[in-house]
Amino acid sequence: MASAAITQDEKTNYLNADYGIKSWLLTTDHKRIALLYLISITMFFFLGGFFAMLIRLELLTPAGDLVTSDTYNKLFTMHGIVMVFLFLIPAVPTVLGNFLVPMMIGAKDLAFPKLNLASWYVYMLGGGWVLYAIITGGVDTGWTFYTPYSTTFSNTNVVAAAVGIFIAGFSSIFTGINFIVTIHRMRAPGLTWRRLPLFIWSNYATSVIMVLGTPVLAITLLLVAAERLFHLGIFNAQLGGDPLLFQHLFWFYSHPAVYIMILPGMGVISEVVTCFSRKRVFGYDFVALASICIAVLGFLVWAHHMFVAGISVYAAMVFSLLTFFVAIPSAVKVFNWIATMYQGSISFETPMLYAFGFIGLFTMGGMTGLFLGSLGIDVHVHDTYFVVAHFHYVMVGGMVMAYMCGLHFWWPKITGKMYPEGWAKLSALLTFVGFNLTFFPQFILGYMGMPRRYHAYPPEFQVLNVLSTAGASVLAVGYVLPMIYFVWSLRYGQDAGPNPWRAAGLEWMTSSPPPTSNFETTPVVTWEAYNYDEIDKQQEVPVAS
């Protein structure tokens, strides 16, 4: 045992292959770039969380007493911009995807390693612009930059924020191109499309959306900036410009962007659920195809954000119907995860707890999305806290849960160390409880008619708002705790070994942390994905030789 541990220590891996700040900042190793992303994205997550805390504190009392209404406008705008563009969209693809996509397909790296590094620098540059916009006075348009407010009336740093998001968009585009090409061209011998892990399928679908959607957002924000800077008149209603044109172009990207956020999370859940149920995923083909269906259908529903904005009733009916269609592939996934668990030998390690949380919360988020997709109900609850609760159930309850789930699942692979299981279970529990306490009251608030984006509210809403703020505090503990024990585990955690979960997948067949080139020799795949019955059989049979 001791000798084995020593050889493990002496082995060079991607972390100790090279030292010094330069070896990190100029690296083209996808694993190191993933860690660069992990650090920067965590930073932005806590910045966005800080804004959320201020918002919840303001809403503790009915009077607008902590911040002025102008400051409050800036707070929710910057919370939205930072969380959506600098955390939710890049999080799973650039951290887990960057680390895992090449490993899961048995490649040495992504197809364009330099482009991958460039995408991190571009992301940091975009993030820097946004930070600059925040420090020099903030933005108050809402994260959606609706015209004509953003182009004509707002006196805040709209241009700086728009340029920041424009630049950060290129980082998405680079990642998307890199993943698509890598998945097409770099798969190990024998790794056919139908043997790919579902995480790969979902990242592939995500990349398709990134490549097709992001440029439309980029041009839209560029036009807004040009309108402010050079007096172009494209959205200007005084010249006869159509204010809804901006909303169409904006949501053409920003609705599919919801799927950019959630699809990679779904991929994580597919990996975790199969591993801790010790079963092949139920209906592999359907889950894989559902990812692609979501990517395509996600592009057909954007105008459901505009039902009360004055779009044509006929178009609204079409978009409402299409919105119902997109629920089908999402439901296929949920049902298949549950069918995978059915009669599996389920164990309750931390990643599985997060996965349970995801499935429940995502289902609630998705179902309330159908309420909002129905024309009549949408008119009633539009722009209320019902909407806020709905998308936080999908984004935070869904995507952030999945991200935490993935981090806990692959942390042993990324660092070679185990985190303390007890604390991790506690944090999973706190996150779940805190999340529901924060956002479930908001469904009720919204249904009762409390509008979003106001810093004061009538006193009869106070009880539910206090509950929500209390929940936010619990949620914050649930997010800070993993930060602490992850860092702790780097030094004091037990060695994980190559495959602590006895999981299927190529990434578990190399050492932890992996060597720089991922595999000693290029693997040849002769088995189907999630062959847990075979893996467990091998372990049960006593080793004869």
Partner 1 sequence: MPASHTAEHASHDLRHHFADMEQQKETATLGMWLFLVTEVMFFGGMFCAYLLYRLDYYTAWVAGSERMNIYLGTTNTAVLICSSLTMVLAVHFAKLGNRKATAIFLILTIVLGLGFLGIKAVEYHEHWVNHEVPGPNFHFEAPKPGASLQYSPKNVEIFFSLYFAMTGLHAIHMIIGVGLLTWLLVRNARGDFSPYYNSPVEMTGLYWHFVDVVWIYLFPLLYLIRHK
Partner 2 sequence: MSEHAQPTVKSFFGIWLALLVLTAITTAASFLELGPFNAIVALFIATCKASLVVLFFMEARHLPKITKVVIITALFFLGILLTLTMTDFMTRLLGR
Residues at the interface with partner 1 (CB under 8 A)? 107-109, 111-113, 115, 173, 176-178, 180-181, 184-186, 211-216, 218-220, 222-223, 226, 230-234, 236, 238-242, 245, 248-249, 252, 517, 522
Nearest to 496 by CA among 408, 422, 423: 408
The residue from 308, 315, 456, 463 that contacts partner 2 (CB under 8 A) is: 315
Whether residue 180 contacts residue 208, with contact meaning beta carbons closer than 8 Å, is answered with yes
- 């164990």: which residue's tokens? 347
The interface partner of residue 289, options being partner 2, partner 1, none and the CB cut-off 5 to 8 Å by kind, is none
Give the SS3 label for residue 417: strand
Whether residue 452 contacts residue 415, with contact meaning beta carbons closer than 8 Å, is answered with no
Using CB under 8 A as the binding rule, whether residue 184 contacts partner 2 is answered as yes
Give the SS3 label for residue 44: helix
Using CB under 8 A as the binding rule, whether residue 314 contacts partner 2 is answered as yes
The interface partner of residue 69, options being partner 2, partner 1, none and the CB cut-off 5 to 8 Å by kind, is none
Nearer to partner 1, 212 or 370 (CB): 212
Token pair listed for 286: 């359907």
Distance between CA atoms of residues 97 and 94, nearest Å? 5
Nearer to partner 2, 100 or 208 (CB): 208
Distance between CA atoms of residues 429 and 487, nearest Å? 20
Whether residue 243 contacts residue 148, with contact meaning beta carbons closer than 8 Å, is answered with yes
Using CB under 8 A as the binding rule, whether residue 375 contacts partner 2 is answered as no
The residue from 59, 96, 303, 405 that contacts partner 2 (CB under 8 A) is: 303
Using CB under 8 A as the binding rule, whether residue 192 contacts partner 2 is answered as no
Shortest Å, Cβ 256 to partner 1: 11
Whether residue 209 contacts residue 295, with contact meaning beta carbons closer than 8 Å, is answered with yes
Using CB under 8 A as the binding rule, whether residue 222 contacts partner 2 is answered as no
Using CB under 8 A as the binding rule, whether residue 448 contacts partner 2 is answered as no
Q: What Å distances lie between residue 155 and 38, 142, 362, CA to CA?
A: 34, 13, 38
Write phi, then psi, for 210 (nearest 5 degrees): -55, -45
Using CB under 8 A as the binding rule, whether residue 194 contacts partner 2 is answered as no
The residue from 244, 292, 327, 470 that contacts partner 2 (CB under 8 A) is: 244
Nearer to partner 2, 124 or 297 (CB): 297
- 């009762």: which residue's tokens? 448
Nearer to partner 2, 145 or 252 (CB): 252
The interface partner of residue 303, options being partner 1, partner 2, none and the CB cut-off 5 to 8 Å by kind, is partner 2
The interface partner of residue 314, options being partner 2, partner 1, none and the CB cut-off 5 to 8 Å by kind, is partner 2
Shortest Å, Cβ 237 to partner 1: 10
Stretch touching partner 2 by CB under 8 A, among 140-148, 163-171, 297-305, 512-520: 297-305
Nearer to partner 2, 245 or 426 (CB): 245
Helix ranges, 136-193 (H):
158-185
Nearer to partner 1, 215 or 451 (CB): 215
Nearer to partner 2, 303 or 472 (CB): 303
Shortest Å, Cβ 504 to partner 1: 24
Using CB under 8 A as the binding rule, whether residue 234 contacts partner 2 is answered as no
Distance between CA atoms of residues 342 and 154, nearest Å? 54
Q: Measured over all CA atoms, what is the biggest interatomic distance in the chain, rounded to whole angstroms? A: 84
The DSSP output letter for 495 is B
Shortest Å, Cβ 266 to partner 2: 22
Using CB under 8 A as the binding rule, whether residue 312 contacts partner 2 is answered as yes
Q: In this structure, is the dihedral angle defined by the CA atoms of residues 209, 212, 215 and 216, taken in order, positive or negative?
A: negative
Distance between CA atoms of residues 79 and 143, nearest Å? 8
Using CB under 8 A as the binding rule, whether residue 188 contacts partner 2 is answered as no
Distance between CA atoms of residues 126 and 124, nearest Å? 5
Shortest Å, Cβ 312 to partner 2: 4
The interface partner of residue 396, options being partner 2, partner 1, none and the CB cut-off 5 to 8 Å by kind, is none
Element (H, E) at 25: helix 21-25
The interface partner of residue 264, options being partner 2, partner 1, none and the CB cut-off 5 to 8 Å by kind, is none
Nearer to partner 2, 78 or 218 (CB): 218
Token pair listed for 465: 């708002």
Amino acid at the residue 195: R
Number of residues that bind partner 2 (CB under 8 A): 21
Whether residue 260 contacts residue 266, with contact meaning beta carbons closer than 8 Å, is answered with no
Token pair listed for 287: 């889950």
Nearest to 305 by CA among 459, 192, 143, 457: 143
Nearer to partner 2, 112 or 447 (CB): 112
Nearest to 330 by CA among 262, 253, 403: 262
Nearer to partner 2, 321 or 487 (CB): 321
- 């090449």: which residue's tokens? 102
The interface partner of residue 111, options being partner 1, partner 2, none and the CB cut-off 5 to 8 Å by kind, is partner 1
The DSSP output letter for 67 is S
Distance between CA atoms of residues 136 and 178, nearest Å? 35
- 């991607």: which residue's tokens? 14
Shortest Å, Cβ 310 to partner 2: 8
The interface partner of residue 130, options being partner 2, partner 1, none and the CB cut-off 5 to 8 Å by kind, is none
The residue from 2, 313, 541, 543 that contacts partner 2 (CB under 8 A) is: 313
Distance between CA atoms of residues 235 and 150, nearest Å? 10
Using CB under 8 A as the binding rule, whether residue 252 contacts partner 2 is answered as yes
Nearer to partner 1, 187 or 280 (CB): 187
The interface partner of residue 535, options being partner 2, partner 1, none and the CB cut-off 5 to 8 Å by kind, is none
Contact residues for partner 2, defined by CB under 8 A? 184, 208, 212, 216, 242, 244-245, 248-249, 252, 299-300, 302-303, 311-315, 318-319
